[in-house]
Amino acid sequence: MERRRIGPFSASALTLGCMNLSHAYGTPPDRGTAEALLRRALDSGVDFFDTAALYGFGSNETLVGEVLRPHRKRITLASKCGMTGVDGKKVIDGRPETILRTCDDSLKRLGTEVIDLYYLHRRDRQVPIEESVGALARLVEQGKIRAVGLSEVSAETIRRAHAEHPITAVQSEYSLWTRNPEIAVLETCRELGAAFVAFSPLARSFLTGKLTDPSTQLEDKDIRRQMPRFEAEAYAGNLKLLDGHKAMAAETGCTPAQLALAWVLARGDNVFALFGTKSIAHLDENLGADGLKLPPETISRLDQLINQNTVVGARYSAAIQTEIDTEEF
């Protein structure tokens, strides 16, 4: 499997996000299925796994830790702090004392002495970014984490953070239908030597072509039901883009999902595609994007077909948008 540099690590360019196995996308799979999926990813060459204290309010870290602990030396393990579950509710808290405590809790759940890449999950607007990153720097000094990352932040925040401690990676949503990182974050990462980890590279299943009717295919507790792009009128407009996407996939000799992943990986040698799934069949399909190189003409046609001007609907609801620090078109 193709490997790329992320700070001091060499890791698979196709990266598994483990959130779906415990959190946010309807009913999680049973424990046996989740364990089998993690092992299948590992056996298939994935060695970069992403979790967070928030996911399943800790249960996802426990799952990942128990399954992957025997293979700890083979993998790059990423987790996140700064957004956790408190009394059953999501709370953003970037205070240094909270970050330090969250890391200790995560280390216990993961069953490891050190986390390779530790992200600030969300910027806490009540706490200067320098203070939050200062706590992460302390964790590096203590040997509890190896590298510092940020999630869903602006270029300005990245630069302020990087002045406090080198930022190894920035994670943000990025796909054909979410282009916000192109405003400034991708270039900032290249300039500072940071990796860019693109989450939801399949547009939360839209670009797979398999989600045709969110009103019937998504469970009530699926987070996509609260996202404007998945509302009936907006999604009907977005579905019109899929025919062209599917046609280009057929021309390329791949599936729509593989085409979308290959597009993300083509954005730069420092870019990783972080996808999640509850299905082993979908995992196998996504990993089929490994080594797929798109001709420049195909990339150009994809750019023209699906972009911030052709997609209908906002990325997040107004309430959730207040939690995000990224630049907006």
Cβ proximity of 290 and 1 under 8 Å: yes
HEC string of the chain equals CCEEEECCEEEECEEEECHHHCCCCCCCCCHHHHHHHHHHHHHCCCCEEECCCCHHHHHHHHHHHHHHHHHHHHCEEEEEECEEEECCEEEECCCHHHHHHHHHHHHHHHCCCCEEEEEECCCCCCCCHHHHHHHHHHHHHCCCEEEEEEECCCHHHHHHHHHHCCCCEEEEECECCECHHHCCHHHHHHHHCCEEEEECCCCCCHHHCCCCCHHHHCCCCCHHHHCHHHCHHHHHHHHCCHHHHHHHHHHHCCCHHHHHHHHHHCCCCCEEEEECCCCHHHHHHHHCCCCCCCCHHHHHHHHHHCCCCCCCCCCCCHHHHCCCCCCCC
| Residue 9 pLDDT | 98
Closest CA to 208 of 176, 171, 180, 174: 176
The answer on pLDDT for 128 being more than 90 is yes
CA atoms within 13 A on the CB side of 322: 4
Residue 239: pLDDT band (50, 70, 90) is: very high
For residues 3-9, give the mean pLDDT.
97
| Residue 43 pLDDT | 98
| Residue 84 pLDDT | 95
Residue 88: pLDDT band (50, 70, 90) is: confident
Q: What is the pLDDT of residues 165-202, one digit of tens each?
A: 999 999 999 999 999 999 999 999 999 999 999 999 99
- Which residues have C-beta within 8 Å of that of residue 18, sequence separation ≥ 6? 38, 49, 50, 51, 55, 60, 63, 64, 276
| Residue 63 pLDDT | 98
Residue 64, Ramachandran bin (φ over 0: left; ψ between -120 and 50: alpha; else beta): alpha
Q: Which domains does the chain have, with CATH numbers?
A: 3-204+262-292 (3.20.20.100)
Query: Which active-site residues does the annotation give?
Result: 55
The answer on pLDDT for 223 being more than 90 is yes
| Residue 132 pLDDT | 98
| Residue 10 pLDDT | 98
Q: Is the pTM of this model over 0.95?
A: yes
For residues 104-112, give the mean pLDDT.
98
Q: Mean pLDDT across the chain, nearest whole number? A: 97
| Burial of 131 (C-beta count, 10 Å sphere; 0-12/13-18/19+) | middle
For residues 269-281, give the mean pLDDT.
98
For residues 150-156, give the mean pLDDT.
98
* Token code pair at residue 192: 């500072």
CA dist 306 and 238 (Å) reads 9
| Residue 203 pLDDT | 98
The answer on pLDDT for 164 being more than 90 is yes
CA dist 124 and 247 (Å) reads 43
Cβ proximity of 167 and 161 under 8 Å: yes
* Token code pair at residue 293: 């190189």
CA dist 31 and 16 (Å) reads 17
Q: How many CB atoms lie within 10 A of CB 74?
A: 9
For residues 145-163, give the mean pLDDT.
98
| Residue 130 pLDDT | 98
Q: Say which residue the tokens 């959190």 belong to.
A: 23
